[in-house]
Amino acid sequence: MQDVAARAGVSMMTVSRVLSKHHKVRESTRQKVLNAVESLKYKPNISARSLAGSKSYFLGLLYDNPNAGYVNQLLFGALKKCHKKGYNLIVDSFEETSNEAEQMVHSLIEQSRIDGIILTPPICDSTHILEALEQAHIPMVRIAPQSNPQRSAYVCMDDFKAARETTEHLISMGHQKIAIIMGPPDHGASRLRLEGFKQALEDHNLPCPEHYMQEGLFTYQSGFESAERLIDNEDRPTAIFACNDDMAAAVISAAHKYQLNVPADISVAGFDDSPIAATIWPKLTTIRQPTIAMAEKAVELLTQSNQEDPRKYILDYEFIRRDSVAKIPKS
């Protein structure tokens, strides 16, 4: 192949240099090579490349997240970017037993000689895994880590800001009695969402009574129970912000149980834009995490050589306005 490409000008050495960027090649010869590549529809052979070079052109993606939708988007973004960059992705997932974690990391490293690895939550906070990777000198990028931010490059979104914006949207629709169903307190992002919620209320001098703050566990059932407590109360809120979509979906179901129409009688906002958000009815107004973009960015960081970049990237979320929030009826 190279042989043929070289035919259109120079030595295959030069072709190699053009293809792998970085190197200084005169612009004119560069163009000649590129043209030849184009017209011959030449595709470099990854195997030969990784065999000859020091790089393997393999990247790892490790996950133990049970949320299929989330993992899928991550995968999608990473795959897309890898494809473009000429890399391959080795995907591995953990079972529950975190004991085998280090072992798996080691075998992944040895077997595939990966050039870098992407760690997703919650596994990205495992100190064991961080250590194993550091010792092996494998570059890593973490997605939304909750701890040890200085320990690797990472990409994340601004949960605080997203929660504040959601709450502000509720306020702008005339709601004054807004309740929140929180996530588990030990979950980092969950805490930030609560803070964002509080900030918005404070900014608008709105009260935040104790019984409007329900503790959820990110599960549908916990959301359902919290919603019942909120609805079956003499001081019923007119809007509920659930810290994830599963709980928001449960709120809608609970509202149905109490003959309440969503959003006419009560508004509901979620968080995540998980598959259920667009499945149920009414469709959920929610926050879409930049999951795909985060994965893409992670691959980009791993495939670039200049490690001196800022090591922290905060990507933009998207506020998805659908059908579960309405103006408060004038009473």
Partner DNA sequence: CTGAAAGCGCTTACAG
Burial of 24 (0-12, 13-18, 19+ CB in 10 A): exposed
Task: Select from a copy of itself, DNA, none the partner in contact with residue 276, using the beta carbon and a kind-dependent cut-off of 5 to 8 Å.
Answer: a copy of itself
Task: Choose, by CB under 8 A, the member of 7, 23, 83, 204 that binds a copy of itself.
Answer: 83
Q: How far is the CB of 55 from DNA (least distance, A)?
A: 6
Q: Which stretch binds a copy of itself (CB under 8 A): 28-36, 141-149, 197-205, 246-254?
A: 246-254
* Helix (H) / strand (E) containing 18: helix 12-19
Task: Find out whether 51 and 22 touch, Cβ atoms under 8 Å.
Answer: no
Task: Find out whether 189 and 211 touch, Cβ atoms under 8 Å.
Answer: no
Nearest CA to 111 out of 138, 76, 78 is that of: 138
Task: Choose, by CB under 8 A, the member of 54, 259, 306, 331 that binds a copy of itself.
Answer: 259
Q: What is the 3-state secondary structure (H, E, C) of 206-237?
A: CCCCHHHEEECCCCHHHHHHHHHHHHCCCCCC
Q: Which stretch binds DNA (CB under 7 A): 49-57, 99-107, 120-128, 165-173?
A: 49-57
Task: Choose, by CB under 7 A, the member of 39, 53, 215, 312 that binds DNA.
Answer: 53
What is the SS3 assignment for 178? strand
- What whole-number distance in Å separates Cα of residue 275 and Cα of residue 284? 10
Q: Which stretch binds a copy of itself (CB under 8 A): 158-166, 182-190, 272-280, 309-317?
A: 272-280
Nearest CA to 113 out of 22, 16, 47, 17 is that of: 47
Token pair 């052109």 in the structure block, residue: 57
Q: Contact between 88 and a copy of itself (CB under 8 A)?
A: yes
What is the SS3 assignment for 62? strand
Nearest CA to 168 out of 302, 71, 285 is that of: 285
What is the SS3 assignment for 71? helix
What is the SS3 assignment for 118? strand
Task: Choose, by CB under 7 A, the member of 8, 34, 44, 236 that binds DNA.
Answer: 44
Task: Select from DNA, a copy of itself, none the partner in contact with residue 10, using the beta carbon and a kind-dependent cut-off of 5 to 8 Å.
Answer: DNA
List the x/- string, 20-39, binding to DNA by CB under 7 A.
x--xxxx-xxx---------
Residue with Cβ nearer DNA (13 or 314):
13
> Which residues contribute to the site for a copy of itself (CB under 8 A)?
41, 43, 45-51, 56, 67-69, 71-73, 75-76, 79, 83, 88-93, 110-112, 219-221, 224, 246, 249-250, 252-254, 256-257, 259, 275-276, 279-281
> Which residues contribute to the site for DNA (CB under 7 A)?
1-2, 10-14, 16-17, 19-20, 23-26, 28-30, 42-45, 48-49, 51-55
